[in-house]
Structure 1
Amino acid sequence: MLTNKLAFIMIDGLRYDAAVSEMGFMHHLVEQGRAARFKVKSELPSLSRPLYEVLLTGTPVIENGIATNQTVRLSHQESLFHLTKKHGLTNATASYYWVSELYNRAPFDKLTDRYQFDGSQPIEKGIFYWEDHYPDSHLFADAHSLLSTYKPDFLYVHSMNVDDDGHRFTGDSAEYRVRVSKADALLATILPVWLKEGYQIVVTADHGMNKDGNHGGTTHDDRDVPLFIISEKINPGIYEDMIPQLQLAPLACHLLDMPPSDKMQPLRIPGTKAPSL
């Protein structure tokens, strides 16, 4: 049955080659004709907070002004959270606290802002964490609690352990690769449940991780990230086309059957089926 609900999972710091080599469950779905895989080229600078804004608003840094990780202010753009509310859809997120600082409250107050359920802000239901080593297992449990309790049309999930291990051990380390495989195992546990609940799935990353345990530059290790899509609106398979990261926000709008913002690019992802009438 065709669905418009979407769980958008962003695995911070997951570079493309590690996803290809270590994510056995996700590639099982590709091999079985259930998922599509693409390579995405991140925007620049390949830093976290700027790319959160790119993913959620579809606007480049030169336009949105979120140029560094130290740019602590609310976004001036229309995000996917704003758009879902505008078009009568519901949203929720389990995310790192910078997402709250972009769309709900800035600066983040650890004593009051971890749980945000009043529905008055662009993010209607939110559970936020602030330690980079906050376990991904707990993060996905937070996300599942939001999904099962509120059944949002748009669920945004942001995990941090891959990025954390990349910074500690570098993107070329055994520890980094093992952490990617652990993220895949978590997806193997949670995605079948969410698919049965009628959710389409997007799994991607903001940026990669280089051999110095860093990111922010222009190399393939810094910028190339995966995109997996499980949806009846996207033909399954492996696509070799390089997808601009600015396409991710209009993709989410397409999957939600929701008009994109005026600032988003037209959707040009191969394998995309025509929108419903």
Structure 2
Amino acid sequence: MRLRAGVLAAGCLLLQAMGVAIFLRGFFPTAVRARPRGGPPGDGPAEPAPPGSGAVSNWSAVPPPLFRRVVLVLIDALRQDFVFGPKGKQFMPYATQVIEKGTSYSFVAEAKPPTVTMPRIKALMTGSIPGFIDVVVNLNSPALLDDNLIWQAKTAGKRIIFYGDDTWVKLFPKHFVEYDGTTSFFVSDFTEVDDNVTRHLDRVLKREDWDLLILHYLGLDHIGHVTGPNSPLVGPKLREMDNILKKIHISLLSKEGEASLPSLLVVCGDHGMSETGSHGGSSEGEVHTPLLFISSAFEKRSGPLTQPELVQQTDLASTLAVGLGLPISRNSVGTLILPVVGGKTMREQLRFLHLNGFQLSRLLEENTPAYEKDD
């Protein structure tokens, strides 16, 4: 009897140890990383070598940019239905008009858990999928060392301005030529946290000394945490965001006659919010966020919006890299969102796909020992 009890106890301990090991394997997953080619972002990744025997070719050279300047507006906790649902039609009339009748492309971007801000910024800018361990460091974000869009833009001489959630300043401490960070800790603040971003707009939109402008608004997220997604405060906040998008879009359009390339306005959320106003999990309201590309380079829409296509949040990094004429981050698992480059010639589109495909195949090859590819 004692022997049976001992065997049973040993078996239970073994199962418990295996359970802990499986949990830790999922909580601390093996990151998908390319082998360093030129060191970390501080030293700069080298261009990918062409496949084959090493013959010189210009196919791997970075194509010229498609847009003169890009404005990225990230509205924290912006749910899909806040833009594409009844609330969008009621409280965001300008965005709805641009989506249905303007020069734009609309998508639903799927964010992978954990749906908290810092891992989502990393996914948007690196094209990689952060792990749950990032939740632990979300409140005290260290500088991001992975290859990323912001570092690539700075290295290429792009002038980047940022206003909003100071998580960006912690992740990219020496990348912005100008910035003003706001803290996200005071969740009862629905107003000043966004006014501190918007107060810069009139001045910066008149200037010509920047190439990439990033705005991260926190007020909607705070409203969700305190009063939930069905709060009467959500509508006025969406209307405020709509007026900001209108101001930016009109300003960009007014200056396009002076430039050889069009501008691009990107609107997205880092994550959504659950029916209780929280986030971090994997419910549909938390993982599905709107993603809008607005530019005079696109064809004007002619009818009401159908159900937007689902893309991955990680696809934004590779798409913006192509749009800005930058190398795709070497650890990116994202794919190019084709409609954004659909106005280019078939040869140019194939070149973009070739670059993206080679970058992904190299990442797969370096992380899968059994992977084989013909030259």
**Which TM class, normalised by the smaller chain length?**
0.7 to 0.9
Over 6 Å off, 4+ runs: none
Please state if 1:51 is matched with 2:120: yes
1:121-270 to 2 correspondence within 5 Å? 121-130=174-183, 133=189, 134-149=192-207, 151-198=209-256, 199-232=263-296, 238=305, 240-265=308-333, 267-270=335-338
Aligned to 1:109: none
Secondary structure in 1 aligned to 2:141? coil
Q: Give yes or no for the alignment of 1:16 onto 2:80.
A: yes
Name whichever of 178-187 and 235-244 sits farther off.
Answer: 235-244
Structure 1 vs Structure 2 CA RMSD: 2.4
Structure 2: any 5+ residue segments left out of the alignment?
1-65, 257-262, 352-375
Deviations 1:42-94 (A, max 9, x none): 1210011111111122221139x633423431112123221111122221111
Instruction: State the TM-score, normalized to the length of structure 1.
Output: 0.84
TM-score, normalised on structure 2? 0.63
Paired letter, 2:152: L
Cα separation, 1, equivalents of 2:110 and 2:212: 24
Instruction: Return 5+ residue gaps in structure 1 as ranges.
Output: 105-120
SS of equivalent residue, structure 1 residue 157: strand
**Where do residues 93-108 of structure 1 align in structure 2 (5 Å cutoff)?**
93-104=162-173
Code of the residue aligned with 2:289 in structure 1: it is V
Q: Distance in 2 between matches of 1:86 and 1:256?
A: 12
Match of 2:130 among 61, 66, 70: 61
In 1, are the aligned partners of 2:162 and 2:178 still within 8 Å (CA)? yes
Task: Please tell me the residue identity of whatever aligns with 1:141.
Answer: R
**How far did 1:150 drift?**
5.3
Aligned to 1:80: 149
Percent identical = 21
SS in 2 for 1:265: coil
CA contact (8 A) 1:36 1:230 kept: yes
C-alpha distance in structure 2 between counterparts of 1:241 and 1:160, whole Å:
26
Contact conserved, 2:103 with 2:298, CA < 8 A, in 1?
A: no
Q: Which has the higher contact order (CA 8 A, sep 6+)?
A: 1
Partners of 2:105 and 2:340 within 8 A in 1: no
Code of the residue aligned with 1:249 in structure 2: it is: A
Judged with a 3 Å threshold, the aligned counterparts in structure 2 of structure 1 residues 182 and 266 are, in CA distance, closer, same or farther, namely closer
Pairing partner for 1:25 from 75, 80, 94 = 94
Secondary structure at 1:39 match in 2: strand
Q: Does 1:92 align with 2:145?
A: no
SS of 2:128's equivalent in the other structure is coil
